[in-house]
Every structure is written in C-alpha cells, then in structure tokens.
Amino acid sequence: MRILVVEDEPILRAQLVDGLQAAGYVSDTADNGIDAHFLGDTEAYDAVLLDLGLPRMDGLSVLKKWRAAGHTMPVLILTARDGWHEKVSGIDAGADDYLSKPFHMEELLARLRALIRRAGGHACAELCCGPLCIDTRNSRATVDGQALLLTSHEYRVLAYLMHHRDQVVSRSELIEHIYAQDFDRDSNTVEVFIARLRKKLPPGLIETVRGLGYRLSAPQ
Ligand code: CA
C-alpha cells in the first residue's frame, strides 16, 4: 500500500514516514500544497495524510481540487488542536477522516487501515480468502492459522491483492501501489514476487489472467 504524506513540518513528516514504513507501507512526501496537488493528481495512492496548513496552497484547496477532478482516494486530514471548524470544512471538502495534532501514531495507523479497508469495501481488519488470511493490524499472513513468513514486498503485493480480491489487478497497478515514487520500478520484479508468493501459498489462489494481470480468489 502506498501513501502520500503531505506535511510541511519536517520532524513530523519524518515521524510519519518512519511510522508508515514500520507498519509496512511505502510513502511519498510533499512539503507544500502545489507539490501535494501534483502528486495526488498524477500518482496512484491508497490513501493520503493531508496537513491543512501548508505553504503555497492550503490543504483544503488541494483536497477540493482533487475531488473536483474525480480522485476518490481516502484522505485523512491532520488538523490543529481544537480546530473544529477545520474538521468541518475538511469533511465538507471531501476528507474521509481527521486527526487532531498531536496524535498517537497507533491511532493514525488504525484510522488509516480503516480507510483503506473501507475504500476496498471491507469492514473488518482481518481479510480472508479461502484458507489465507491477513491481519492488517500487524501485517501478518496465515494459511489455515499457520503463520506465513513473507518479506515486506511480498506482503505488500499480497495485501494489495487481498484488498482487491476477485478483481483482476494489472502488473502496472501493483507496481504503482507497492513502490514509492522515487524507487526504480521494474515490472519484472512483480512477476518475481508473485512467483515467490505462489510457492508459499496453497495452489490456485493467485491466478494469472493472460494479458491483464493477476486475480486472487478462493479456489472453487
Ligand atoms: Ca502545517
């Protein structure tokens, strides 16, 4: 899962990136509204953390522009303490949730998981497909209750497929959601991760849809 972090305060931005990375996400960052708007407009994100008080263009305007352009990614706004009017305008502008500063990283991660889940139409933190389950709270995967040892990249590929189970996911879509923007993206690596996952998973879970991509679904 790939997250856009928009925050102009360097220390908080670094904390957010570290916290996200520790939780298994990749992230891109922007420290002003213009860059944030451009990234959200042109790149694929599973969710955005958006500070409202930003140089060059305020967060609310960024959000309104995204929504007006039809971008539906979940957006969690970061507001000043007691900024209730900011929360109201943020939600009216299309934010999905908010968090007041200062906040606990654990709470931010829980809200983020919920947003990503809901965007994929899932109501609970554990996603299952046949014998395979992932717990999005701790990035663990199990098959028939037995823990599965996965690298962080393998988990990201699997988590993305689980959030989009029964749908065909193209190779390029997977690449966009498992790597940060500045990473050297090579579509062959997706095939390698899929091949490794298949060795670890029960047969038939990940199907190749010729010319289109991959589909994760419970074997019949
Ligand atoms: Ca700020």
Give the per-residue pLDDT at 2.
Answer: 95
Q: How far is the CA of 79 from the centre of ligand 1 (A)?
A: 9
CATH of the domain at 184: 1.10.10.10
3-state SS, residue 145: coil
166 with 212, same domain: the answer is yes
Tell me which residue range forms the domain holding 207: 126-216
Q: How far apart are CA 61 and CA 117, in angstroms?
A: 26
Last residue of a domain, one of 119, 152, 187: 119
Give the per-residue pLDDT at 65.
Answer: 96
In terms of DSSP bridges, do strands 146-148 and 140-143 run parallel, antiparallel, or are they unpaired? antiparallel
77 with 138, same domain: the answer is no
CB 46 within 8 A of CB 3: yes
Give the per-residue pLDDT at 78.
Answer: 95
CATH of the domain at 60: 3.40.50.2300
43 with 80, same domain: the answer is yes
Give the per-residue pLDDT at 220.
Answer: 73
Q: How far is the CA of 12 from the centre of ligand 1 (A)?
A: 10
133 with 163, same domain: the answer is yes
CB 73 within 8 A of CB 101: no
How many domains does the chain contain in total? 2
74 with 171, same domain: the answer is no
205 with 107, same domain: the answer is no
103 with 131, same domain: the answer is no
Give the per-residue pLDDT at 37.
Answer: 98
32 with 87, same domain: the answer is yes
3-state SS, residue 70: coil
Q: How far is the CA of 164 from the centre of ligand 1 (A)?
A: 33
Last residue of a domain, one of 84, 119, 154: 119
Q: How far is the CA of 192 from the centre of ligand 1 (A)?
A: 40
Q: How far is the CA of 179 from the centre of ligand 1 (A)?
A: 26
Give the per-residue pLDDT at 82.
Answer: 73
69 with 150, same domain: the answer is no
Q: pLDDT below 70 — which residues of the chain?
A: 182, 187
- Mark the residues whose beta carbon lies below 5 A from ion ligand 1: 8, 51, 53
Last residue of a domain, one of 81, 101, 119: 119
105 with 143, same domain: the answer is no
130 with 52, same domain: the answer is no
End-to-end CA distance of the chain: 28
3-state SS, residue 72: coil
- The model's pLDDT over 120-160, given as tens digits with 9 standing for 90+, comes to 888 888 999 999 999 998 899 999 999 999 998 899 999 99
12 with 71, same domain: the answer is yes
